[in-house]
Structure formats: C-alpha cells, structure tokens
Structure 1
Amino acid sequence: MHDQVGVPLKVYHIGADETAGAWLNSPACLALKQSQPELSDFNGYFIEKVSQFLAQKNIEVAAWSDGLNSTQQSKMPKKVQANAWAMLSDNGHKVAHQHANLGWQVVISAPDVTYFDFPYQAHPKEPGNHWASRAIDSRKVFEFMPDNLPAHAEIWPSVLGQPYEADDSESMLKPGVSFYGLQGHLWSEMIRSDQQAHYMLFPRLLALAERAWHRAPWELAYDYQGKKYHKSSGYFDKQQAFEREQDWLRFASLLAYKELPKLAQAGVFYRIPTVAASIDQQGYLHAFTSIDGFDIQYQQNNGPWLLYQENIKVTGAVRVRAKDTVTGRKGRMLSVK
C-alpha cells in the first residue's frame, strides 16, 4: 500500500507499552515456556521477534521505552527508535539516556510537558488528565529544555508540587550522543470532538514546535560530565532566566498578532487564555492575559460586560474574561476577590 502511493514504509511503530498479561496463559505461550525454560519475559521476546521481522524487510522498528526496557540489545536490530516517556521528576532522564547510549534514536516524550491531554491550568473546568502534571500551559512547553532533561529539577516541581533532585552523575549521555527528536501527544480517551482536540492542541503545539526546531541561547547546555540538579543547584542563573523571559515576550507577541489570527482564519478552536486579575485596597481592578491581543472584559454584580481599561474602580462581585478580537469568542470566566 505504501509503495503504491510512492511513500515507502521506513519506520513502523509497534507500540509495545502496557502489554496485557492475560495472553501469558495461552496454550502457545505455555508450550513456548516448556520448550525454552530460560525464557522469563514474553514481552521482551515478542518485541525482539517483531523487531527482527521488520528489520528483514528493511523497516525500522519504533516503540515505547517501557516495552523496549524488556528487550536484550543483542537481540534487537541496530537501528531502533525509542519514545522515552518516563516522568522527568521520576528519573525520566535516566531512561532517555540509557536508550540513547545504546545508539537508538530517542524521541523525547516526557509526559510532564509533552502530553496535551493534560489541562492548561489546575482548575475543575479545565479538561484533562493530571497524573504526571497538574497543568501544562503554553509557557511551560516553551520553557522546556529538551537537550538537558535533568536540569528541569531546578525550574519545575514534581506532580505533587514538591521539589525533587535529578542525579545524572551515573546516567550521563556518552560524549557526542544526543536525542533524535521531540514529540507532542494528544491521547483521545476523553476527547469527544474536533473542537475539543483543537482546544487541547493549540496554542501549546506551537510552543512545542518552537522548542523542537529552535535551540534558544537561554537553554542550559547539557553537561556530559554528569551533575545533580535540584531547586538550589543554581546552574540556570538569573541572566538565563531574564533572557528566557524576554524570549517568551517575543514568542507570545508572535502568537497574539501573527499565528493565532492565522488559526482563526483556518477555523481552529484554539484556547483563549484566562485573565489574571486582582483588586487592590483602593478598589482598582488590575488585569492582564499571558498572551496579548485579546480584549479583557469585566462585570460587576451580574451587570453588563464592559471593556477593561487601566484605573477602573470596581465594587461588589467582579468577574473577568478575555474576548478574542478576531472571532468574538470568550474565554473561561473567573471571579475576582
């Protein structure tokens, strides 16, 4: 089929994650175990066999890292693509480094930052899973440093909101070894429409593309000598943080005035940012959005929605929301106290 349309099949992803255990008691498996008593891992055996079968057809095998962990390198083809998905806060860098050091093509798939079935914000009205991260907004994706996985222990907490340590002293990449690519993911168990898929993908998919195709000067270079990173290790310094902030402002401006209007014209239902707002002691409302280009509206005591401007005094129950100037759509409404 691939040859007929002029697109040869060069890589075949076999999954190989979360394999079921029920088949272990099948007559075929029991017979195989009797004939090969030394065989203890049917999962690895299966992946090795399928990988060799593909290699005979000059097709590269791709699979998830947890399945590949069950294999023996000597029984695998020389060319393997591995999706390294382990959580960064759970020694995820070690899995990625281990497979890359085998000479395999490692695709970074860290769920802490590349899983777009997770919510943008930790809020009950934001859809999504949360087992690896309570929230993944566009800025978090933008701040990802895919070439230096352990370094994120300095800038991000664990899924429980706690600081953690990433020790790379015995798991470092071999000199000259790097990763093959970066991949975003939208698992669809809870997706019910194209509109919902658009919401979960955009605009953070654009931030992922920025990190996949452009290495920013502020990104912390990987140290092939191995380091221990934690909240206070201090390798990501104030100057890099300042440069990252300036780069984010540049990127957010491009989103607001160039890329999101393009998506609007294409009918993409991208997420409109929520409004950050507060009321000071004098009663003045202060509000902004993380991405410019949206009108900010406010409402007092269930009255009409009004356009926010500086130096506006408010009283009573106040709510805010962002309005898309291109489509007229409104973002999620928030109460301000």
Structure 2
Amino acid sequence: PGIFYYFVRRLQEGSRYTHLKSSALNMKKYLLAVAIVFAIIPAVAQQNCPVIPMPVKAQKGSGTFKITAQSTISPEDTSLLPLAAWLQEELLRRCHINVPLQRQPGGTVILLKKATGTNAEAYTLSMNKQTATISAAAKEGMFNGIVSLLQLAVAAPASGNTLRVPCWNITDAPQYAWRGVMLDESRYFFGKEKVKSILNWMAFYKLNRFHWHLTDMPGWRLEIKKYPLLTTVGGIGNIADPKAPAAWYTQDDIREIVAYAKVRCIDIIPEIDMPGHAGAANRAYPAFDGGGTAKYPQFTFNPGREGTYAYLADILTETAQLFPAQLIHLGGDEVTFGNAGWDQDTGIIRLKQAHGLKDRKQVEDYFIQRMADTVLRLHNKVMAWDEIATATLPADSTIVCWWRHDKPENLAMAFQKGYSVVMCPRLPFYFDFVQDSSHKIGRRWKDGEFNPLQSVYDFSAAAIPAAQGHESHILGVQACLWSETIHSNNRLDFLLFPRIAALAETAWSNPAAKDFNGFKTRLKAQLPLYEKDHIYYFDIFQPGKHVESGKAASNYID
C-alpha cells in the first residue's frame, strides 16, 4: 500500500505542475502507474517472505496466527502423526512452546491435510488468524510445508509463551528432486551427534539427500560384521593423526541415524570407495591390495584377483541391508593416482588378455561394471563420480556425480549414455574451498578461484553448455564437504554455514526468480538461529566475528 500511495502521489504532483495537452494522456499515465504498482506489490511481498529456500509463490495474508500451548496440531489421519510429532518436537526445541496433538482441534489449529496431485514434494500453506492449513499429496510435500511454517514461526516475534506468526499463503514445489550434502568422515570422524545436527539443518532448508563418504585412505568408518578388521584396523587414524584411535559407526549406529534422517525425509546414500582410495581397507585385508605409489601406498583394490569381487560383494551386501535408499555410491574416482602397478600384476595381465582390455582405464571400467552388477543384484541403483562415464552401465540405474568442473566432456558423455546426473562441480559446490578472499585455510582452484556465498547462490545448470538440452537427466545439485582441512566441529560449521542456505535456494527455487540481495536480507534473520544452535558460522556481514580454525592441507589428491 505504501508503494501504491507513493506512485499516486507522484502522479498527482506531476498533474499539478505539468501542463498536459490531453486528459486522455493523463488517464493513460494514471492507469500505467496503477498497473506498475500491482505488478510490483506481489514481487515485493514474495521477497519479504522470510522462508529459505524462497517459495515459488508467497503472498502475505492479513493478521497473525498465534501459536501457544493452547493451540493444537491436528493431522487429518493417522498416517500424518509422525510428521505432526516432528513439528511438535521442533516447536518445543526451537520456540519452547509445547503444542499438543489432538484429533479434535480447539483454539488456533495447525491442520495437516491430504490433497491430490502428482508432485510428491509440492505443498500449499494457507493461513488466517484461526488456522494454518498445510496440504500435500505425499509425506514429502507435507514435510516441506511443515518446514515453511516452522521457519515462519521461529522468525516470528514472541511475547511470553505466544508466537505471533504473520499469515502467509504459499504454493510451492522444488526445482530439483535431488538437493544434497556430502560429508567425508573417512578423513575426520565427527560422530553421531554432529551428523544429526547436519541432518537437522538439512531438513530446515528442505535438503533431502545425505551422501555419506564412509571409506577412503585415512579410515574405514562402517562396521562390516563379516570383516571386523575393516574398522578395528582400517578405522585407525585420520587426516590429522594417522595413529588416532579407531573410530567407526556400528551397524546399530547406522540404523539409528538412518531412522533419524527418514523422519526428516532425508535419504542417506553410503559411499564405499573403489577401486581407488582403498588404503584403509587394504591395511586391514592386504590380500586384496592392488598396489599404489610412494605417495599413495595401497591405493587400489586388485581387479585381477577373483577373491576381490567376492570380498567387495560381501561388503556391499551388508551395506545395502543398512541403507534403505536403494542407492550405493561406488566412488570410482582418481584411480590413476595409484594404479601404475597394475601393468606388472600377473593377475591383472591375465585379466586383460582374457577380456581384451587394452589399458588400465579399461581394467578400471571392467571392475566398475562387475561391482555395479553386484549393486544391481541387491536391487540398488549405482552412483559414482564422473570418471565412470566411460563405463558401460544400465542407463536407467546409473547416476553420475559430475564433480570436475574442468572436465565438461565427462558430463557430456554421461548425458550421451543416458545416465542421470547430480551436479556437484568443485566450483562452486566443494565447500572445503575457502569462501572469502581473506581466508587462508582450505582450497583454492589453480587460478585462485574459490567458492563464496554468491557463487553457490548464482549457480545454474543452464549456464553449462554441456548440460543444455539435457535438463531431464539432471536430478539436482549437491555440495561436498571434504575434510582434509576439517579437524573439528567448529571448522565444519565454518565451511558449511551459511553456504548451506544458498545451496538450498539454488536447489529449490526457480533461477529466474532468484535475487541475491533479497536472499541476503532473509539470511541475516537466520544468523540468530545459528547462534542459538551454537553453530560456528562464517558471518558475511561481520567477517571477523568468527575466526577460521584448522590448518592448511598440503596433500590433496584431486
């Protein structure tokens, strides 16, 4: 309204002091001004909606919706009770208000209502002074609507035990189905509580895929009952201290975390790295060692030993039983850093002769194809880094993570073969890269480039020539947190926050509607939430507030 009256006032002033030849011209200008005003008002209202990621459509309603201990959360049927319970838990944890669940509402009510529709993640939120109604066709959409209401609630002014939530009417659905974060716990083990914290924040920003890098050179972090030495021996050490006591997740830990993520509509994708990055496993079971280099000893599994395939199949079988997402990441990257010994290995020489394999790359592809067959037999899809684009795999069951921003030809090859793709290029989605020009700890690209908040926010797959025309094969985007320079929870927070919020909006919102300045305004209101949760974030508004910690890594593989 203020904008409207400003335009009208300016028009009146112009009419007062300007001599126009025609009253018709005056009327045209008046109508034009009115049209401009009504075009601007929805955009301004949209920008002022505090929700991250920005909804597709958000219109400010009238009045406020009060949330008190006398309010109720009312699911339409029993299938929605777990989501209602999660909202109750979050309102108590974040806002210190215990809102009861009951089927017969009284007072103000948060109504969870089933709707029809084909988009499982779409939802609507309709609010007035008495009712906040979240409607969705599926659990995922209902959860997304609950999160939007929760974000409005935590941003609302509180008076005693009452939250006064401004009414908004939101219609929303994500741009991408895959909105991911990858955490490397081989190099540094963070433990259950920190992982749960990350899952909480992923849920708060509607991120829904947690890619868990559990095995690599420094340590093996997943209990495999058939091969206990993988953790008791392979779990020793980390990137900062090769003699650190063995640390790993038991299978009960995994089940607990998977269940925790499921409540938050997050799928967990385990990564069992092969045939490279196998040092921790090879220390535990050297019989399957395929060699390495002086810099990267015991780097590969041995593709020339038949026992290697049975051993890894056993590992993948136990892994599949723990993770119900029906998707296993096989790694598959950087094998050339430690496979020189394959040329002299008698078993690999026989393998090449038997199958007509010309070089190490063809041996690598053969290995990946065999292990992919194992994953498929376990009724899982196959995921791996973009080096596997050269392998021949079932197009409808293969997902490629495109990480090498300087290798668009691998992205193009993945599309040509019909593989689905998750976009996670180093620039801008490797969050171990520094995020400010003043930062000293962490990575930069060869010409000094790094990954500031805005580059994460501005990413668009449409700007990548190799991706143009292949939009239907792009599942989404993902940020990767490699932990060479992460040796504490504070350091993890410093690299993840606030870039996780920019990632969420890039994954969710329509690129044409995004506005970085508007995003920063909404982001500023998030910082008190980080403080409340003891998150050691990088404050882009006060860069010196938190000091970066850790030490620079001198030994990056990629």
Does residue 79 (structure 1) correspond to residue 397 (structure 2)? The answer is yes
Contact 2:395-2:417 within 8 A present in 1 as well: no
CA distance in 2, matches of 1:53, 1:108: 25
Q: SS state of the match for residue 451, structure 2?
A: coil
Q: CA distance change for structure 1 residues 45 and 149 in 2, over 3 Å: closer, same or farther? A: farther
Give the alignment's TM-score, normalised by structure 1: 0.60
1:266 counterpart residue number: 533
State whether residues 100 and 177 of structure 1, in contact with CA within 8 Å, keep that contact through their aligned partners in structure 2: no
Q: Report the CA distance shift for 1:5/1:31 in structure 2 as closer, same or farther (over 3 A).
A: closer
Unaligned stretches of 5+ residues in structure 2:
1-250, 256-317, 550-558
Query: Are the aligned partners of 1:119 and 1:136 in contact in 2 as well (CA < 8 Å)?
Result: yes
Deviation of 1:213 after TM superposition, in Å, equals: 1.1
Does the aligned pair in 1 maintain the 2:431–2:480 contact within 8 Å?
yes
Q: CA deviation at 1:137?
A: 1.1
Percent of residue pairs identical: 23
- Counterpart position of 1:47: 368
Q: How does 1:1-337 map to 2 (within 5 A)?
A: 7-19=323-335, 20-24=338-342, 25-40=344-359, 41-66=362-387, 68-73=388-393, 76=394, 78-87=396-405, 90=406, 92=408, 94-123=409-438, 125-131=439-445, 134-146=449-461, 148-150=462-464, 168=465, 171=466, 173-174=468-469, 177-218=472-513, 247-257=515-525, 259-273=526-540, 291=541, 323=545
Give the paired residue count: 227
The 1:50–1:149 alpha-carbon spacing in structure 2 relative to 1, beyond 3 Å, is: farther
Amino acid at match of 1:71: A
SS at match of 1:69: helix
Alpha-carbon distance, 1:176 to partner? 5.9
The alpha carbon displacement at 1:249 in A equals 1.9
* Contact 1:109–1:182 (Cα < 8 Å) also in 2: yes
Mark the CA change 1:209 to 1:178 in structure 2 (over 3 Å): closer, same or farther. Answer: same
Report the structure number with the largest CA radius of gyration: 2
Shift of residue 140, structure 1, vs aligned partner:
1.5
Q: How far did 1:192 drift?
A: 1.3
Say which SS state the counterpart of residue 481 (structure 2) adopts. Answer: coil
TM-score normalised by the chain length of structure 2: 0.37
Amino acid at match of 1:254: R
Decide whether the 8 Å contact of 1:142 with 1:207 is kept in 2: yes
- In structure 2, the CA distance between the partners of 1:49 and 1:186, relative to structure 1 (3 Å rule), is same
Question: Which structure features the higher share of helix residues?
Answer: 2
Task: Measure the CA separation in 1 of the matches of 2:345 and 2:548.
Answer: 53
Q: Is the 8 A contact 2:433 2:442 kept in 1?
A: yes
CA deviation map 1:33-76 (0-9, x unaligned): 2323345311111111111111122111100002x133135xx4
Q: How big is each residue's C-alpha offset from its partner over 1:183-234, in whole Å with a ceiling of 9 and x where there is no partner?
A: 001111121111111101110111011100112325xxxxxxxxxxxxxxxx
Q: How far apart, CA to CA, are the structure 2 residues paired with 1:43 and 1:331?
A: 39
Shift >4 Å, 4+ stretches: 1-7, 171-176, 329-332
Residues 174/36 of structure 1: CA separation in 2 closer, same or farther (3 Å cut): same
Q: What CA distance in whole angstroms lies between the structure 2 residues aligned with 1:46 and 1:215?
A: 40
Structure 1 residues 172 and 137, CA, compared in 2 at 3 Å: closer, same or farther? closer
CA deviations on 1:219-260 (whole Å, 9 max, x unpaired) are xxxxxxxxxxxxxxxxxxxxxxxxx6xx22221111112x22
Is the 1:322–1:331 contact (alpha carbons within 8 Å) kept by the matching residues of 2?
no
Specify the code of the residue in structure 1 equivalent to 2:332.
A
RMSD (Å), alpha carbons: 2.9
Does structure 1 retain, via aligned residues, the 8 Å contact 2:395–2:418? no
Aligned partners of 2:434 and 2:442 also within 8 Å: yes
User: CA–CA distance in 1 between the matches of 2:367 and 2:490?
Assistant: 38
| Structure 1 gaps, min length 5 | 151-167, 219-243, 274-290, 295-320, 324-328, 333-337
Deviations 1:251-305 (A, max 9, x none): 1111112x221111111100123xxxxxxxxxxxxxxxxx4xx5xxxxxxxxxxx
Deviation at 1:175, TM superposition (A): 6.3
